[in-house]
Structures are given as C-alpha cells and as structure tokens.
Structure 1
C-alpha cells in the first residue's frame, strides 16, 4: 500500500511536468504548424507557339538522264553513289556514225562554198557585159537565180553540220546538275534508243524537307512560317528556314498535311534521311510562365497558391503552352506574383505555410 506521503510526491512531479510542457508550448515559434514550401515568382517571357514534326529530306531536283541519240554504249563513266558535277561525262555512246555524218555535211558545205565563189564571179562578168550590151538581161537573171539557189543550199548544208555536231556531242551523256548518281540503268555494250533512261540523279545542294502535320492545323499552316530543322545524324546543327509550300491535299493514310521547306544543304544531308522540324506558328510577348509543379489540379480546376502574409491563397488559372518544365498561365495570375512551388500539392486555400527557400 502506498503511503499518503508518497502520493503527495507523485502528484507534485506530475504537476511540475505539465507546467514545463505548457511553458515549452508557449515558447514554440509562431507558425511552426504551417506546410513547408518553396516559392517562386511568376515570370513574363517571350514564348513561341511551336508544333514539332519528324519528316524526311527529298532532293529539290532529281532529273532522269535519258539518251538523246541512239547508239551502243562504249563506256560507263559513273556508277551509283558517285558524286558528279554538271557537265561531267556519265557514259559514252559510239560516235562513229555521227563522225561520218559530220564529215559528209562539212564536205558538202565546202563544195557549195566553192560553187558559190565561182557563181559570184560569173554574175560579176555578166553585170559588166550587160553594161556593154554584149549579153541579154535574162542571162544575168539566170546567173543571179543560180547564185541564190546555191546560197540556200549552203544554209541547209550548214544546218546539217550543226545537227551532226550536236548529235556527236550528245553521244557523250553528261550530268545536267551537280549531284549524286542514285540509280544506273544501263551497262556497257547496251544499245540504247532515243529517250531510254540511263541514270537517275539527285541534287545534293538544293533540298526539300517534307514535314507532316495533323490536319487539325491545316488552317494555321501557310508559306513563310519560320521553321527550325535538325538531323539526328548531325546533332547540334540547327538550320533556320521558312515554309515554302503547303500541299492542300490531306494524306488518306496518315491524315496529315504535307509542309515543304526548301533549304540549301548545310553539310552532309542526303535525300531520304529523317529530319526533326519545329514549326513556329506564332510568338507571344510577355507570357506569364511558372514551373509545372506550381500548378495543382483541384475540384475548381487548375490552381496556383499565391503566398501572402504566411498563408496560401488559392487562385484558379487557365494554362496554355507547356515547355521545358514551364507552363504558361493565360489568365488568373500576373507576372511578379509569388506562388508556392515545391509543396504546392499539399496546400489548401488559406493554409498557413513555412517558406523554406525562395527562387527568383
């Protein structure tokens, strides 16, 4: 059994402990029950409305080189994958028939020039004899007519020389552009006719980039919009360009609109490689931007918590573009206001907060 003196001792100890606890509670710092957060200020920034796409490179010029004269292929001077320059020989056709035709046409020109020279002397004599009335007028007229006929024949022969020379040049099949041989469709020894395709070339300098975009953007797509292009094979290099053409038809398979950007090859881009494109649809000045984690989903909608006098004030906002961890606030918040950042998801309206740190 506990004696009365022992009860008194126990009671005094309990009362002293309670008093100490009350005193510590009174000395605790005010607001220690608030939610710990960090804060950040809403920033005004100039932002771009960007639509991304992955497309591919095509050649601006891809001519098919065909035979312009008939003949047997004596030599192939370029193969698939070769880089060629404008005017470079791709193949040589047998020139023998054209050489013979050219020599015959040139011989005819020389013969007619000799006849014309002789006829001119005859006309000169007849003109003198007419003055002395030794010959009738019609003799001179016949000589002048014959001279005119010879001159017409000379013009025809000269045209045949030019045509034979042209065909002789065309027996050397040459590249019409600077580019690369994509396909070779002829072999040495083949007999080719006029119009037969021999080579397929692609230009390496002037390129077209095809970028597909959703049909829902069709009304916003137009020539002249700025585009940033980059190739996975050449990271770090960005090419600035503008939309050259918007194809009006929508692809049945992909439901996409084809946007074309003409660019000069920045290095080693080749037809067929994939390209990352960023199409800048619009630019907005002084857009209000905040970190994504500052925007919290609540029954009222998207909200941010504005921090004032140690408490969180719930503000319903509307959001816009999201990029690089930032979100645009289109209404409900002004630039420069301080809002909760880390810890915002644990807040409610008018909740007390403890700011652990602030970011500007």
Structure 2
C-alpha cells in the first residue's frame, strides 16, 4: 500500500512540474511605429485660384450696349474688341462739330480778307486806325473760334471711338456686369478682366484664427479633384476687417510655384501648418495609468516581447495624447489592450499594424 502511495505521489509531482514548465501563450497585439511630428496642423479650408491683378472696366461714354464680342472665360489679346455701344448719338455729335468747323473756316477766310483790305487802306492813308484794329481783332477772334471748333471735332471723334470697349492688356474675361441692350453710364463697370500671368490662392479664414497665425505659418495648396498636384504658399495680404455675416477674413496667398493645372477659378484645398518642436502623438488606447503615472508598452521587435515605460504627457484629446519624453521615433508601441500585458510577455505583432 505504501508502495502504491509513493508511485502516485511521484506521478503527481511530475504532472505538476510539467504544468509549471508550460510556456505562456504568445499574445497577438496591435501596435504602431512611432513617428515624431514636426508640424502642427491648424486646419483645412476651401478656396480658389484667382488672378493677382484684376480690373473692372467700362465705357468712357454713356449709351446703349449694341453687342458683346466675348464671353466669360475667353482669353483676349491687347486691343481686342469686348463690346460696343450704339454709335448714333456720337456720330450726330461729330457731324454737328464738323459743320461748325466748316462755318468758322468760311468766316476765317472773310476775316482774313477784311484784315488785309483794311491794312492796305491804312497803308495808303485812306483807312482809319480804328477800322484796322477792328478787322484784326475780328481775325484773331475767328482764329480762336476755329481752334475751338477743331478741338470739338477731335473730341467728337474720340467720343465715337469710345463706343468700342477694347482690352488694354492681355487678359481673361472673368465676369460681365451688363448685357446687350442695357443702357450704361460713363464709367459704369461692365466687364472684369484678369491678368492670367500671375495667379494666387484666395481663401476665407475665421477671424479668431487669423489673430493666432504664427509668422512661420506654411500653407499647403492642392487641387480638390487632384490633390497630388500641390504647392506651398505664403501670406500676401489679409483683409483687416472680418465679413459681418460669416466673421471671416479673406486671405490672398502667393504661390511658390504655379502648376499648369492651377487655372483661374480652380477649386483648391488649403491646409495650414506651423513648424513646432518635434512631438510624438499616440492613440489614447496606448496609454496606461498606473499609480498616478502614465506609461506605455514598448515592443522589442527582436525578442517579440513587451516592456512598460513611463512617459511624460504634454496634452491629450478624446482620442490622442502628445508625448514629450519617454519614447523615441522609430520605436514600436502597443496601441490596444495594454491593461492585460505583463513585462517580458511574448507577443505577436498584428500584420495589419502600421510599419
């Protein structure tokens, strides 16, 4: 009986030792590779590509628009006809001025003949000084009237030329403010011309953000439909006052480069960022609070084990934390399930984890 008890005890001891020697199972974990952030994202805004230089032009004389020669979006060369007025009034004014000029020219011929005759009579001693002075005064007055009439004709010709609105530089037509048949006044804005050579990005920024923009702010400008086409930009000007309804201020940005795809009117997406001291951002699920200290779990990629490490937290949100010290760029950190880990525990990095 004693022999059987000894055999049974021996078997139990061997079984227990085998159970104690059984290795811990390898635990799958989610992890991320740490990367230091050198920029702070300040927001993303929609905008458009516009010409830096635009001009609103109109006719120099009043009248009714007879025709429009180009449409919005058309590229025009210097001197190209944009629109024209009904020239009837200007032609009538020119005919009237030319008639006055012809009449005064005839009067000038008579005044010249009278002045010569009075001079001849005075030289012969049969004409009076008063008659000679009157003839010469009339000649000078008529000559002045002729000059005035000639100026009126020139002005009437200019007025006739002004019924045609022409581009004074190479431009793109971006807007029309009047249609054919509409009566316009002198100087009234009729069409907007944009110089296509120099383009810039235009966005509306919240008034509260503008006051907080750092001097080294960087703007990343990309096309909304093809974001791979992008460039950087700097502030050229920001409107001093906010728009009353939206509380935004318009900002104009000078592009460092102008890709061909950046056409006038193209919709763009502008991201604001600023250089900061390198920081590391981790998901909130990677953080473990133990006895008032914050720690994370570092994955040793060689031994496939984990170890805890205390970290210093700069800030946190509902989903992320910013770590100031305790972890370096390039290390791998467990991103979920940290509360069930033990120091030195074997883990298997999930294949879906970022490398």
> Within 5 Å, which residues of 2 pair with 1:161-172?
161-172=153-164
Partner of 1:257: 248
Contact 1:294 1:304 in 2 (8 A): no
1:154 is aligned to 146
5 Å matches for 1:195-210?
A: 195=186, 199-201=190-192, 203=194, 205=196, 206=199, 209-210=202-203
* 1:174 CA drift (Å): 3.9
Distance 1:77 1:307, change over 3 A: closer
TM-score by length of 2: 0.66
Matched residue SS, 1:159: helix
2:311 equivalent to 1:318: no
- Quickly say closer, same or farther: Cα 1:40–1:96, change in 2 above 3 A: closer
The correspondence for 1:19, drawn from 14, 17, 24, is: 14
1:232 maps to 2:224: yes
- Work out which of the residue numbers 244, 268, 278 in structure 2 matches 1:275: 268
Shift of 1:276: 1.6
- Stretches of structure 1 that go unaligned for 5 or more consecutive residues are none
Deviation at 1:52, TM superposition (A): 1.7
| Unpaired segments ≥5 residues, structure 2 | none
Distance 1:153 1:321, change over 3 A: farther
Does structure 1 conserve the Cα–Cα contact (< 8 Å) formed by 2:98 and 2:153?
yes
Taking the TM superposition and a 5 Å limit, the aligned residue runs for 1:1-360 are 8=3, 12=7, 15-16=10-11, 18-19=13-14, 21-22=16-17, 25=20, 32=24, 46-55=38-47, 61=54, 63=56, 65=58, 68-71=61-64, 73-79=65-71, 81=72, 83-85=74-76, 87-106=79-98, 108-109=100-101, 142=134, 145-174=137-166, 178-180=171-173, 182-183=175-176, 185-187=178-180, 190=181, 192=183, 194-195=185-186, 199-201=190-192, 203=194, 205=196, 206=199, 209-213=202-206, 215-221=207-213, 225-250=217-242, 253-254=245-246, 256-262=247-253, 267=261, 269=263, 271=265, 274-280=267-273, 282-285=274-277, 287-289=278-280, 291-292=282-283, 295-296=286-287, 298=289, 300=292, 303-305=295-297, 311-319=307-315, 328-329=322-323, 331-333=324-326, 335=328, 338=331, 340-342=333-335, 345-346=338-339, 351-354=343-346
